[in-house]
Amino acid sequence: MAGGLFELRKDPITGWWVAVVVDREFERQRFQVAARPVSPPGAACQNCEQPSGDGVRVRVLKPQAFSVAGTEREARESGHDDRAPGLGLVGDCGSWQTIVAPVGHHGSLAEERPAIVVEMLARARDAVAAARDAGETDYLQVVQNWGAQAGARTDHLCLDFYDLPQIPHRIGEELGGAARYLIREGVCPYCRLVRDELADRVRVVWEDAASVCFAPYASRSPFELWVVPRHHDADFGRATDEQIASATETLQKVLAMLSVLDGPPYNLVCIRPRCAYASTRRITGTGRYIHACARSPAWSWVPGCP
Ligand SMILES: [Zn+2]
Ligand SMILES: [Zn+2]
């Protein structure tokens, strides 16, 4: 092994590089941090109050949440600055909604009753399918932010979803990279990843009959994990009830493993084509430069510490 401080690792699909410190002993105290509640105990919770009723509900936080302004010049010429509905380049479109657990459910996803998580994931699947059928938007992101440090705005167990009119450029790059990989190698890159990770067994965290969870080689944040279904299908909107139940079990098991770090804050992201979440930042003191970003055109779940 060469003596460089940073090992530069390359993602074979996107070609993106990350710098990883590989010769440092793991120090738990560097990473252990408990998720911080958003509100004090007993505070009013909008997700308990809206919408009315009990059970799993879908709350529309903002219909037609996105106006495509374009460049400043395009925005000026389209009259977007007037802030009137329908005056963006393509009008106001998309939405920001959240799938909320029953009233009073302010615990973690890992500790929730499986039947509740199954219902929440099924709602997310149905939202993806509905957006596809409507054909009015290009991209739907499902995400759970847990803990104030991870950007959560509520302690109520929920899955936010954003129905967007555009494919973020990072996701576009991933899709292009996956397509080039397929042409170059003649195989789906995500199916190959699953196969290779299972053969090496160096980074496998969890597996069952339906899914495999591993820490990617070119991980862009500490404890970034991918949960990839063994079943080759790019559309979470087509997931069967059986696959939803399996995804629930896997997610709960994998997220429970993070409790080794005192129940840390995290971002959980469901990815499919036209569906993802991305954030970029650089963290010093962890030994890594980080580009924390969701990925994978095959539908999958990506939990990772923020
Ligand atoms: Zn609540
Ligand atoms: Zn595949």
CA of 74 to the centre of ligand 2 (A): 39
Number of H helices, E strands in the chain: 7, 11
Q: Which helix (H) or strand (E) segment is 72 a member of?
A: helix 72-78
Query: pTM here?
Result: 0.84
Q: How far is the CA of 161 from the centre of ligand 2 (A)?
A: 24
pLDDT band per the 50, 70, 90 thresholds, residue 303: low
Q: How far, in Å, CA of 38 to CA of 36, rounded? A: 6
Could you tell me the CA-to-CA distances from 60 to 99, 103, 120, 261 in Å, in that order?
Answer: 9, 16, 15, 33
Q: Which ligand is nearest to the CA of 189?
A: 2
Domain chopping of the chain, boundaries? 7-34+44-304
What is the per-residue pLDDT across 105-156, written as a single tens digit (0 to 9) for each?
999 999 999 999 999 999 999 999 999 899 888 888 899 999 999 999 999 9
Cα atoms in the 13 Å half-sphere on the side-chain side of 63? 3
Nearest ligand to the C-alpha of residue 182?
Answer: 2
Pick the CATH number of 7-34+44-304 from 1.10.3470.10, 3.30.70.100, 3.30.428.10, 1.10.1200.10: 3.30.428.10
How many angstroms does the Cα of residue 51 sit away from the middle of ligand 2? 38
List CB contacts of 80: < 8 A, sequence separation 6 or more.
67, 69, 70, 74, 87, 88, 89
Ligand 2 centroid from CA 194, angstroms: 9
User: What spacing in Å lies between the alpha carbon of 145 and ligand 1's midpoint?
Assistant: 15
> 236 C-alpha vs ligand 2 centroid, how far in Å?
13
Closest ligand to the CA of 299: 2
Among all bound ligands, the one having the nearest atom to the CA of 192 is 2
For the CA atoms of 257, 261, 262, 264, the dihedral, rounded to the nearest 10 degrees, stands at -90
Burial status of residue 147 (CB atoms within 10 A of its CB: 0-12, 13-18, 19 or more): buried
Hey, how many other C-beta atoms are within 10 angstroms of the C-beta on 174? 26
